Chains A and B, each alone.
Chain A
Amino acid sequence: MDEIIQEFLIESSELLEQLDQDLVALEERPDDLELLNRIFRAAHTIKGSSGFLGFTQISQLTHHMEDVLNKLRKGEMVVTPTIMDVILESVDRLKLLLDEVRNGTSGTVEISDVETKLKAVLEGTTEESTKQEDKAIPEGEKQEKEKESAPVDAKEETVTSSVDTQEGQIQQVQNEVKEKEAVQQSDEAVSSEEKDSKATQAQSNLSAKSSEQVESTSRPQSQPKRTSGVSPINETIRVDVKRLDILMNLVGELVLVRNRLGQLAEKIDAQVEDTGLIDAFNNALVQLGFVTTEMQLSVMKTRMLPVQRVFNKFPRMVRDLCRDMKKEVDLIIHGEETELDKSVIEHIGDPLIHILRNAVDHGIEPPEERERLGKPRRGTVILSAYQEGDHIVIEVADDGRGIDVQKVAKKALEKGIIKEDDLQHMGEMDILNLIFMPGFSTAEKITDVSGRGVGMDVVKTNIEKLNGIIEMETELGKGTTLRIKLPLTLAIIQALMILSNRDIYAIPLASVQEIIHIEEGQVYTIDQQSVVKVRDMVIPLMSLEEIFGEPEKIEETARHYVVIIGVAEKRLGLLVSDLVGQQEVVIKSLGGYLTNVPGVAGATIMGDGRVCLILDITGIMQLSAHTVRKVASAHAGGSCGCGT
């Protein structure tokens, strides 16, 4: 039974998501009969399956929705914003009801108010319903109050009804089996043999054992993923994410073993004299490497989901925002088929919601203002996703008012984020990046939608947690573009392995800007801070020992390699003892005690079995900023070990 409820939850959630999208599309194309049919069918399907499972509230609500949709479908009613609002409200309520089923609770969701609205729409009071909209709110409140006055009754009713359904069904079946047996016994045409088999058939259907059997046999069966629409039916199978995670972890281990074998091969190479044997071994090793890489890619692909999953919610959200904010915005979506790792997909939603809200709320001007400025009345927000190398880029571009650098600077000064002196050293880009600082908000008035203090800093932190970076471009009066770059996967990364005073570290390759070789005399000291000049940029230099605050050790040799790392616009030069090479590393967590060590993202196991720390570049940047101040105040002369 659980398995079926699970199936029901998955199917219905997918259908509701599709409904959200289709309904918004319907508003633009109210005459699209195929679309209407699809919407009707989604409600119909949910009604059917919820009825079977005894989720009475869900089937009641979908039943009323179906009635309204049927009238729309038959052309007896025309799609109006009011009707849309009621239908969308019903969809939202259905989502809550599904949550109830998911959490095993009941009685927390009331549907009578939406039902009343649906009935009002159905009774053809469409003209009135616009007036009713004002009334609907106090009416809803009234009902809420009524509900409060008799909460126990209402709750008890729903609780028993939902508990009853399963037991009730079984009870019902048992009764009917008895009846049927009686019928069969009296029916002489049925042979006694058949009678027995029938009875056992029916009874075994009730027993838990049989459901177990069914479960084990029905699992491996393939199932079409999407049943709505006219899309071709793919042979797909639903797999528990945990299994994929285990698989991914195993592939990670495999990569480690492959690396280890590679190192052993070098040692064997030096000791064994039989060159034929060594060649054969190396060949096998190359093949193992090839297969491992392919396998890693395949497993990664199984975890990939189209960004559509996240993007689907946005048309509805933007529509609601526009109604609330009295704005007119077209949301255009490109590249929703672009795929990203599941874990990235799960965490990208919230930042994107925030960015989109900002675009509609702060970016796009009110229609009247746009007309005055000679812009089209309707604003445009373009949300697009595409792959760029081994990164996925998600862009949100609006054609709104853009960000005023002067305003940002003024605000930052007011909030005490920067000082007057700082401002003189800052370029336009530096100033713009201040909006990513904690406690910054440019909204002149605080709205419900955005500007509640939870600002772009949270967005940035969330994206950096995904090893992503966020960039911004803006032009006053023309619009703003926010660009998020995300890695394809989080589990295995390409890293630059470096030695820093005999300790080996892995630097995620995505953050490495360049590696330079420096000579004495190329390093300068500004404000007690060592810097190096690379082309036209002045980049601060630091060693990992300084950053991590390790006691200074005596260097055997001067350091000549600088790895320049970057996050967004910030750059830092890491002075390293030696470069080891580029390697694929599997990110392992440091375990419960050592999570959240600043500057360390995790660890990996090296080919020779040593544990190597993977640097968290964002953390390193923050630590380094801190170190600069400390060094500046404590020391009279910064040492950087490269003999300046």
Chain B
Amino acid sequence: MPKILVVDDSSTVRKLIINILKGADYETVEAVDGVDALEKLAQEDIDLIVADLNMPRMNGLELIRTIRKDPIYSDIPIVMLTTEGSEEDKKRGFEAGANVYLVKPAPPSLILYKIGSLLNAGK
């Protein structure tokens, strides 16, 4: 099963997303911020990333930019899942390299649908 890295500084949100993903039989890995995410990325074989925007140490945008610059990880699909919903924020998210931009609280079905299509597109 595809393995998904969930990056969010809120343990509640991580748990929620992981519950949703596990319900759909995905394997999951958690990270609490951008720095942690990069570490996990190096340790595990990650197929997709769901990342928050506002996080300590390294925020979501910096994380995405770092990943996109890295030749090994540059192709990993990234779903940005954040409370920031303004057009400007979305634009910045896409510019950084997010494939999908979802605004919290996005319904679980939508999250799963977007993840499913991203993973299919990659095949």
Residues B113 and A211 in contact, CB atoms below 8 Å apart: no
Question: In whole angstroms, how far apart are the Cα atoms of A194 and B110 in the complex?
Answer: 17
Since A205-B108, A218-B18 are in contact, a sample of 13 more A-B pairs with Cβ atoms closer than 8 Å, ordered by chain A residue number, is A41-B56, A45-B10, A48-B82, A52-B13, A169-B107, A173-B108, A177-B109, A205-B20, A205-B23, A210-B23, A211-B23, A214-B18, A217-B22
**Residues in B lying within 8 Å of A, measured CB to CB:** 9-13, 15-16, 18-20, 22-25, 30, 32-33, 36, 52, 54-57, 82-83, 104-105, 107-110, 112-113, 116, 120
> What residues on B are CB-neighbors of A338 within 8 Å?
none
A3 to B112, CA, bound (A): 21
Contacts A3-B15, A210-B23, A233-B36 hold; do A38 and B83 have CB atoms under 8 A apart?
no
In the docked arrangement, what's the CA distance between A228 and B36, Å?
A: 13
Q: List residues of chain A with CB within 8 A of the CB of B20.
A: 205
Q: Is A230 an interface residue (CB 8 A)?
A: yes
**Residues of B with C-beta under 8 A to A213:** 22
Contact A230 B12 (CB under 8 A): no
Contact B56 A228 (CB under 8 A): yes
Chain A residues near B13: list those with CB within 8 A: 45, 48-49, 52
For A11, the chain B residues whose CB sits under 8 A away are 10-12
Given contacts A4-B16, A204-B23, contact A51 B104 (CB under 8 A): yes
A49: nearest residue on chain B (CB-CB)?
B12
User: Which A residue's beta carbon lies closest to that of B57?
Assistant: A230
Determine whether the beta carbon of A51 is less than 8 Å from that of B109.
no
- Tell me the nearest residue of chain B to A44, going by C-beta: B54
* A contact residues around B120 at 8 Å (CB): 194
List residues 39-91 of chain A with CB under 8 A from any CB of chain B: 41, 44-45, 47-49, 51-54
Is A8 located at the chain interface by the 8 A CB criterion?
yes
A564 to B107, CA, bound (A): 70
Q: How far is the CB of A1 from chain B (nearest CB, A)?
A: 9
- 25 CB < 8 A contacts A-B: A3-B15, A4-B19, A7-B15, A8-B12, A11-B11, A45-B9, A47-B83, A51-B105, A52-B16, A53-B12, A173-B109, A176-B109, A176-B110, A201-B112, A201-B116, A204-B23, A204-B25, A213-B22, A214-B18, A214-B19, A214-B23, A217-B22, A223-B30, A227-B9, A233-B32
CA distance A10 to B83 in the complex (A): 21
B12 & A52 in contact (Cβ 8 Å cutoff)? yes
- B36 to A: closest C-beta gap in Å: 6
Q: How far is the CA of A473 from the CA of B36 in the complex (A)?
A: 50
Residues in A whose Cβ lies below 8 Å from that of B55:
41
CB-nearest residue of chain B to A213: B22
For the complex, give the distance between the alpha carbons of A286 and B69 in Å. 61
- The 5 A-B pairs at the shortest CB distance, nearest first, are namely A205-B23, A49-B12, A201-B24, A176-B109, A52-B105
A571 to chain B, nearest CB (A): 52
Q: Which residues of chain A have C-beta atoms less than 8 A from B105's C-beta?
A: 51-54
A202 interface residue, CB < 8 Å from B? yes
Is the beta-carbon distance between B54 and A41 smaller than 8 angstroms?
Answer: yes
Residues of B within 8 A of A49 (CB): 10, 12-13, 16
In the bound complex, do residue A205 and residue B11 qualify as a contact, i.e. CB atoms below 8 Å apart? no
Could you say which residues of chain A place their CB within 8 Å of the CB of B16? 4, 49, 52-53
Q: Is the CB of A201 within 8 A of B19?
A: no
Whether A343 sits at the interface, judged by CB under 8 Å, is no
Kindly provide the distance from the CB of A210 to the nearest chain B CB, expressed in whole angstroms: 4
B107, A176: Cβ atoms under 8 Å?
yes
Q: Mark A1-36, 1 if CB is under 8 A from B, else 0.
A: 001100110111000000000000000000000000
Which B residues are CB-close (under 8 A) to A8? 12
A560 lies within 8 A of chain B by Cβ: no
Residues on B with beta carbons closer than 8 Å to the beta carbon of A48? 10, 13, 52, 82-83, 104
Tell me whether A410 is interfacial, beta carbon within 8 Å.
no
Cα of A214 to Cα of B17 in the assembled complex, Å:
11
Distance A452 CA – B103 CA, assembled complex (angstroms): 52
